[in-house]
Structure 1
């Protein structure tokens, strides 16, 4: 997640987003999983490497 968001550290990611989803963590995880599964992950990683 840290790399996807372009954050320099996991602490920055957690500090920014940890409290946003206290009541919806399972739903957020499921939605992220659905989007990652639906996306062409190979293309995403290739684009990041470019």
Structure 2
């Protein structure tokens, strides 16, 4: 019985590449969405202004 990691075979070589690129795009979009919706920049700006 082989570990699941070794079962990453695809019918076409490009499928794994598209999967990795797609995962990157999804994670990047989530990070940008969090940055804007949670107003991270404002919180960091206020935090650095207090220490300066």
Bigger relative contact order, structure 1 or 2 (CA pairs below 8 A, ≥6 apart)? 1
TM-score band (shorter)?
A: 0.3 to 0.5
**Structure with greater Cα Rg:** 2
- Give the TM-score of the pair, scaled to structure 2: 0.41
